[in-house]
Every structure is written in C-alpha cells, then in structure tokens.
A and B are shown apart, each in its own frame.
Chain A
Amino acid sequence: MDVRINKVTKRFGKTTVLQDIELTIASGQCVALVGPSGSGKTTLLRLIAGLEKVSDGTIHFGTKDVTKRVPNKRGVTMLFQRPLLFPHLNVGQNIRLGMKGNEEHGVAKWLERVGLAGREADFVHQLSGGEQQRASLARALAGEPDFLLLDEPFSSLDLPRRRELRTLIRRLTEQQGVTTLLVTHDREEAMAMADYVYVMQAGRIIEQGRPVALSEASPFFGDGLELGGTWQPLSEIELVLRPTNQVSERVTITKELIQYGVRFYEIERASGERLVVQTTERFAEAMTVYVVRKEA
C-alpha cells in the first residue's frame, strides 16, 4: 500500500510545528524519517497514525483519504520506544489482541518467528527488555497491517539487541510486504533499515534520498560514508535483491566494508553489472541485501 502525505501542516495553538510536509512511501518500502530532537518527526508519525489531527493537508493510504479517519480504522500499527505490552495478559493473549481471527499465522507461529517459541504463557514481567520488544513486534505484525510505524523502537535496548531487533523487523516486514516508516535520530538505524530517507529540521523536510547518497552529502550524517575504505574480496553467494523482492540470483561479492554497524558489499551480477548493496545480516547464503547504487 502506497502512502502519500500531501502538504501536511500541524499547528498547536499559534505554534506551527510542521509546515507543508510532502512525503511518499512506495508499497512495501521502508522509509526513515531522521532529524534532531524537536524537528517534528514524532508529530508527523502521530498524524499518520491518527493520534493527532492534521491542521492542513491530506494523508492518503493507497487511494483512500484517511486524513479524518480514527486510528484503528486506518490499518496502521505502531511500535513505540517502550514495548507497551499489557501486564494483566500473558504474551500469547497480548499477541491475540492484535489479531482479527482470519490471519494466516497463529500465535505460536508468531512467537517462533520472533524467537519466543514456548513463551506464550509467560507474563510480561518474566521477559527481558529485548524479549518484550520482540513480543510487541509480534503483536504489531500479527494483525497483518498494511502499514507499520516505528517510533524509535530500539532506543531502550543495548547495541547487540538493537541490531538483532532491526534485522528481525526488516526481515518480517519484508516477508509480509508491510510498508514501514521509521522515526529515528540515529543515523546507523536509518542506514541499516531504510530504502529511502527524509531528513527533517524545524518542522520541514530539508533533504531526501537513498541512505548512502545522503550519507555522502547530508550534514546530518556527519562525515559521510567512505566507500573506498578497506574492502575485502569475498566468495560467491546467493543474494536476494531489494526492492525487486522476488529476484534471487547468484552473484559475486568482490568487496566488503562495515560502517555505522552496517555491512556494505560491492557485488558483480552475472550480466556484468556492478552494484553496491547493504545489509545488517551476518555474511550468509541467501541473505537479504539492499541496493545502494550502481557502479560505473
């Protein structure tokens, strides 16, 4: 489902916090909204979720104008900074809450997918912070939403758990074809997860582009990405290319670089075309990579 934000403005009293925001997310794409604190990222996310009312402009999900729809009629689900599981229910009951009853996968399958198999009867306080966030992710995706909103869901986790969870989110949203919008002020997260990035400042979008292109040009990303760094020649493996999700082909990895916690590979396809791709996954057969750019 495509998402289009058309000239959205948000005012609180006389203060304008968002001004003429234009943003498009293609179906199945993961878009990151980055910027410093107070730039209006979370407000925009809340407008899209329907938790705040739009002052001017429209929000379209596919062909439907959802600007005035209540949150639960929009087909969106949201993952917050805290897991926000309901403590009077166990893990399985929390996940069941998000389901309508006609979903393809049941609770047990979802627990397995998020690495919590056998924990259905556990209560929230029996889970660690990372496990709670994974259970929360299962609840968010179990209802098969069209659109997933992520409001800095990794900020309460330590670095290894953070990397593990974002890889999990990207894998699951991709499998389900869920359109995703991530709000973060962490450039590593944006690099690792997004197909496309919007940079916000003082209630406006000031830059947009593919993560690596922005990292080379945008002041928000600091020093930029040096793709000419220490490259390691690697062996031949099978890769799944995004956004052409279905294509699975055997390519040759010629170089590897790790930066911002993200792995970048230079690959050569059978046709001779050379691409730079990125992934957060460990080196493995059939890993999912994101096309960053074509090399000359």
Chain B
Amino acid sequence: MRPGSIGRRTAGLGVVVLAIAGGLTACGSSGGDDGAPAGAGEGQASGGGTYTIWDPYPQFDKSSDWVRLLDTCGSQAGVTVERAGYDTTDLTNKALLAAQQGNSPDVLIVDNPVVSTLAEAGVLTTTEESKLDVSALSPNLLAAGQAGGKTYGVPIGANTLALYYNKEVLEKAGVDAAGVTDWASLTAALEKVKAAGKKGITFSAIGTEEGSFQFLPWFWGSGANLMKLDSAEGVSAVALWADWLKKGLAPNSVINNTQTTSWQEFATGDFAFAENGTWQLANAKKTGFDYGIIPIPGKGGGTAPAPTGGEFVSIPVQQDVARYAVAQQLVSCLTSTDNSLTTTTTLSYIAPTEEVQVKQVEQNAELKVWVEAVKAAKGRTSDNLGTKYPKISEPMWKAVQAALSGSQSPQEAMTAAQSAAASATR
C-alpha cells in the first residue's frame, strides 16, 4: 500500500511541478508583450555573431544562388547568417508580430508597398539611422520606400507590368504590334483579332490587391490620380476595361483571374495580348509560340506608368543598436553593384540602379523593354500616399469588379469608390 501511495504522490507532485514550470516559461516568453522588447536582442548578440535575414522567397532552398549569396555576404561581414523564407502575404504579419515580441530579424526583405506600413508601425530604421547609401538608386523606385521625407530601405530589384503578345495571332489578324501606341490603337487591334476568330486580351481583375496592381497602369495611363478615383480620367480607365468585356475583347473570366490564371489563359495560345509581369519571362519561353513584349500604352500615347513590384531590403529596429553596423554591411553587400547583377538575375528583377540595368541589357537584350517599363514605373505608395494607399486600393478594386461584372456603370462604381476611399483616409 505504502509504496503505491508514495508513487502516486510523487507522480502528482511531478505533474504540478511540470505545470508550474510550463506556466513560468510561458510568462517568460511573453515578456515582450508589454512593448518592452527584452531578451531577444541581447540573446542574439551573445550567440556570437548570428544574424537573421527574413525574405519572401520560400522557393529558394539552401543550394540556390540566392541563399549562397546570403551566406557569402555573411562571411564577408564575419558573421553567420540565419535565413528564413516566408510566403510574401505571411511576411507582413510575421514582421509585425516579431516587432511586437521584440525579436525582429536583423535584415528584412519585404514587398515594397508594405514598407510604408511597417515604417508607420515603427518597425524599420531609416537609411539615415542605418547609414545605408541610397544615392545611386533610381528615385522612382526608391519612392515606394519613402514616407514623410525619410527612406526606409533599399529596393533589391524591381519588376513591373507590360503587354506580352502572341506574334502568330497578331500576324493572322493583320496587326502590327509596333502600331499599338495608345488605347485607341490597342482597342482597334483587339477588334481585328476578334474578327479573325481569336481572343483579344487577358488580365487579372480579381478582388484583391493583385487586381489593383493590374488596373493601375490603365488608371495612371489615363492621367488619373489616386486621390481622386472618380475623375473623368479615372472613369475612362474603368470604362476601357468594361467596354472590352462588353464587346468580348477580353474574357469574362478576368474578373476572377489572378495573374497566374490570366497567364494560363495566354499560354493556351488563343489570346493576342496578356498584361503580365517580368516574372513570367521564363514561362513565356515554355509556351511554344513566338511572343513579344510592348509597354502598356497610355491613353493618348507614350508608356503608361505601371506599378513597381519587387522587394525592399530593410533593417528593422533593434534594442541593441550595435547590430546595425553588421546589418548595414549585409544590406550593402546584397545590393552592391557587383552582387546586384547576380541578385536581380536570380530573382528575375530589373536592377534598381542605372549602372546595373545597362549590364543587364548587355547580357539579355530581351530585358530592354522591361528596363524602359521600370523607368516609367511608379510605386503604389508613392506620391506621399504611404499607408493611405491600401485604403484607396480596396475601394478601387471593388469598383473595377462592379463595373466589369455590370452591376454598376463605370461612373457609378468610381463615384462610390471615391466616397469610400475618402472616408477611409480621412
């Protein structure tokens, strides 16, 4: 009897101890909750030169050029680099949570429209604080990472949108791609293609940020400004798309297309044009038909400003400011002229500096049109919109969807969007 009861008692005590220990650990790890980022910073420093880098490129594994470059930059700075790749939509919330817990990574690579959000949250250091040199960078690309006169990171590369076309389809329809220079000539080309029994153009107008991203070249190309969605120009951009759908020049499925499904439509070989990005270049070679690329035309001609895609390399705020020096070395290494060519080729981006852009075109003449497009491109959060942009973008994509699905006229849709955006940004 006795040994049994002692055994039971010990077991019980053990469970209590475990539970208490568990509770204590839980308290310990949530210590950062009250905004005092304790521990993490010092912990990393005492780890003997391990620096963390978070990027949105989970597709690259340890053997990839990208991760090898990170390791090289680490050893040049005399530290070990610990890298984690996250899904890009996941990364914003991960970064915010990490900042809340006081264990931000030393270097954070994020999608450019997120930079202003993180900057507003106080998560990122300015380039002044971190002593990053931004003088060589193209101002139109850098603008996406600027808010209130301060710069919060360095673009690692940029991509943007242009029009891919199927040479065979255009030839059969008797259309010369070089003649497509404004909206009128584009619509005329689409009509000819339709008359020849093929399909006109595909794009993505899905009800997410992706839809706004694809709509912006037409919106900006009309001369409209995001602060006034319902201007005559803005309405004309929506009307252009809505008319294409009404006339059957663009398929109805665009309303639900992501950029990937839109690309799949183009890859069938039935479509004359597709609005898509630099990142599809590798896939374009696999389609099995001859393709070409032209910039997206503005309403009255010229190249329309397309939104820039691509990430910014930034240095999150740390408790231990001594860490910035090494972080700065890492960022400089990743974005240096020598490495930029490798980085941008690996990520299929256009370089953020003129110097490297020239080298890229030397290596691959096909990139010329993309370099032009990137030069004309514009950050979504530029024009000092910053965190106002997301509040404008959502009503805008809804309005585009309403007009394309026919539930509202372009004018009604944009008027409603403007009042929603105005009240959200007030």
Interaction A to B: no
Interface, chain A (partner B; CB < 8 A): none
